[in-house]
Copies of this chain bind each other. A is one copy, B any other.
Amino acid sequence: MPKRPVSEAERRRRRPTRGGAVLSHRLILDTALRMLHEHGSAGLTARRLGTALGADPSALYRYFRGMDDLILAIADDLMGRAADGWQGTGAWRDDLRDLGLRVHAAYLAHPQAAVLTAGRVSGRPHETAADETILGILRTAGFPDPDAVAVYQAFIDQALAFAALDAATLALPAAAREADHAVWGATYARLPARTHPHIAATAGLLVARMNRSAYPTALEMFLDSAEGRLTRARAAAAQVPPGRRP
């Protein structure tokens, strides 16, 4: 196990690099995000990041344990961008929808970063803050704790899972993305009705939909079902008045 890099607060001297930049976690993170946009999700390498910062690549290892540590920091940064400035209205369904769409949008704004961070639990401040917010919305709305936890987990995983899936398409190099799009136009829309009757019958609708994210539909379906659960939980609670609870 390599030893922990020096934290931002502990730093004393800030000697500039050969290129004149003064390194910091923030500067490295911002430069990494810029490189991901410019060069794609495979384009973030320690060597290129060093060059972009005007520093030797090995200097990065004083700030991050390695590329994996940097990627977890990027993940938490994306979550921070999603939650930045958010205010709840008190209407749980509207608030959840809004948060889900914000997380999805924050990831899609940095699709190459989203691909890299998909499925990683960072446990860092922005992530825990988002989790606390979502659990608070559900518990305040009246979901009993076991339901709140189950619905919370399905909600955040659905948002992140669709973000990663949709980001994967956007993050492809332009050529590959066009090739994937062309698959729909060329292969699916022209499958013969004899072998693929259902695809053939709905080809127009399929092609129109396939280049749009399914997340808004899936999110609304999720909220429908959550509302049903809440109604049933409230009805069950009304059967057992507060004074008679064990």
Which residue numbers of A lie inside 8 Å of B, CB to CB? Answer: 68, 115, 118-123, 128, 131-132, 135-136, 139, 145-146, 148-151, 153-154, 157-158, 160-162, 164-169, 176, 180, 183-184, 186-188, 191, 196-199, 201-202, 205-206, 209-210, 214-215, 217-218, 220-222, 224-226, 228
By a CB distance below 8 angstroms, the chain B residues around A153 are 209-210, 214, 217
Least CB distance, A174 to chain B, in whole angstroms: 14
Does B165 lie within 8 Å of A161, measured CB to CB? yes
Does B198 lie within 8 Å of A128, measured CB to CB? no
10 cross-chain CB contacts under 8 A: A118-B168, A121-B183, A123-B184, A123-B187, A131-B199, A132-B198, A150-B209, A221-B222, A222-B225, A228-B228
What is the copy number of this chain in the assembly?
Answer: 2
Least CB distance, A169 to chain B, in whole angstroms: 6
Measured CA separation A186–B166 after assembly (Å): 32
By a CB distance below 8 angstroms, the chain B residues around A176 are 68
Does A160 lie within 8 Å of B165, measured CB to CB? yes
